[in-house]
Chains A and B, each alone.
Chain A
């Protein structure tokens, strides 16, 4: 198509009807020369009612107060375009409408001038933009006022946004945090794990949770529990990662408080236990001494009183001795190779007085060419075993099954002592090695047995563990260094002891 053959009128009409705006051409006398189809539709007016009439006549009354006519006049006079002005229009019974308009000069022949007025109803557009802005503001304020740290990063882990909670927890402002690598905020040694996760989450899981310490601006690391989720676009491509973190500082403080309260309660129990253990024999000694002071009774009776005085003091001081042993487990003296199976048999024989009539015993001892030797003090290991076997028997007052097993595992000797008795409540399980912890109100049971056993096994460089279910029995596992590796383990235990002293 060549320009010379263009039918200007048709071209003009075509453009006028294609552009979805209301367009008027107005001459210098402010008479409408041309009106687009869009304008006629919007104003519900016929072409004949519009063309040839003055501008103010074709607009509803509400427009007449606007500067529109004045502006059109000015554009025609000056030849300068007016762009993107806005006017609002309120007609009775109609909601407020807002129009954006531009007026540009249109030179005609013979030096005459006119103007083109292009108007668009932008009411809905503006409302939409406003709603979008409101929604954005709302979302932003949700993120900003959330108690959790909400951080977004790009797919490689560079921080894009960072909310107020993150700012408070970490000490960096959103600006300072931007473009930093999130992984750099994680303290060692978890940092490498975090880096790996960021690499993997994009490829695989799209969602992961972990607890990593975060380094604050002041260099201190605080515990935070993190959830990482990928943001994906419509084709499933990862565009970024949302990291939500819960600051665990307060929770940890609360836990510490609870732990402290538990420790105090345990200490109260310990003190009550000590009081009972010591004041009982002191009571005996004191009463016997008072009887002696009365100088009554037979010579045998007075002899017996003297025995009670001495015996009571010895018992009280043995309690104190045991407490000291517990509190300060010293280094083992001379150690020997201890035949564990033989020691277990001795302990069993010693404790079997506690067994109820209907008790069966199963032995599971690994048959080896050589005996199973542990390195340690024979009498102390035997004491631990007697204690555990006696406990097992006492847990089965109506009879049951005691299972004893010894085997080698690597360079350790493993001893297992199980019963089918009452078991230990889950809430008590963590406290059974505490000194003076006992669920029985018996006075003879000091509540020191398991605490001492634990202490002795640790002294040997070994460990003691327990599994139990309330109602169906308890199972203790003792691991002692085998005789070959015993010396080394004990040296290590000695070093640990020296370090903690």
Chain B
């Protein structure tokens, strides 16, 4: 049995990480939950290397390997608007620069769905979608459907 395809969840609230991972598991997806912009960038860089055919392993601060990434890991990232080390919009821009093919969906309590800042970010393709907290699990599933089959 092959491991389920995984989504990158970037949220510093562990409770939120847990419910998102559970919801994704229910939809047949794996999830890697990270709580800072720096960690998210490390995982996405590893994914870029894996895409290019290099073996990439992300290790934690203590040097412990976290996971070995397969090719085409994380076709989608769920991203919070406020993180301990940077704001979500900035991180989205970085992620887009590093790995343009990855879909980025912001999930936040800070904005509302037709917020100008959010609307601009979608129009300029800095993010691909937005969900306001609290969100419908069905909306999460709907986001997964839009993920292209990368294989």
Binding site for B on A (CB under 8 A): 272, 275-288, 290-291, 294, 296-297, 301, 304-305, 308, 311-312, 440-445
Contacts and interface: CB of A to CB of B under 8 A. Distances in A.
The 7 closest A-B pairs by CB, nearest first: A279-B109, A283-B133, A286-B134, A441-B87, A287-B19, A443-B82, A283-B134
B13 A443 contact: yes
Given A278-B109, A305-B19, 18 more contacts: A275-B109, A276-B110, A279-B109, A281-B15, A287-B16, A287-B19, A287-B20, A287-B22, A288-B19, A290-B136, A291-B22, A291-B137, A294-B137, A311-B15, A442-B83, A443-B83, A443-B84, A445-B84
A422 to B, nearest CB: 14
Contacts of A282: 109, 133-134
9 contacts: A275-B109, A279-B132, A280-B16, A283-B133, A284-B19, A286-B134, A290-B23, A304-B18, A443-B82
A445 B22 CA distance: 26
Contacts of A297: 22, 26
Contacts of B67: none
Contacts of B85: 441-442
Given A276-B109, A312-B15, A286 B135 contact: yes
A287 B133 CA distance: 9
B109 A291 contact: no
A397 to B, nearest CB: 10
A276 B12 contact: no
B108 A294 contact: no
Interface residues of B, number: 29
B86 interface: yes
Nearest to A397: B85
Chain A interface main SS type: helix
Interface of B: 12-13, 15-16, 18-20, 22-23, 26, 80-88, 107-110, 132-137
A255 to B, nearest CB: 29
B61 to A, nearest CB: 12
B65 to A, nearest CB: 24
Contact of B133 (A272, A279, A304): A279
A276 B108 contact: yes
A296 B27 CA distance: 11
Contacts of A286: 133-135
B127 to A, nearest CB: 16
Nearest to A293: B137
A233 B16 CA distance: 83
Contacts of B18: 304, 308
A275 B110 contact: yes
Contacts of A280: 13, 16, 109, 133
A354 to B, nearest CB: 12
Given A275-B109, A443-B80, A287 B23 contact: yes
B33 to A, nearest CB: 13
A279 B16 CA distance: 11
B26 A296 contact: yes
A291 B141 CA distance: 13
A441 B92 CA distance: 14
Contacts of B12: 442-444
Contacts of A311: 15
Given A280-B13, A297-B26, A308-B18, A444 B133 contact: no
A441 B134 contact: no
A283 B16 contact: yes
A294 B137 CA distance: 10
Contact of A301 (B22, B86, B133, B136): B22
B16, B18, B82: most-surrounded residue (chain A CB, <10 A): B82
Contacts of B20: 287
Given A291-B26, A297-B26, A444-B12, A279 B19 contact: no
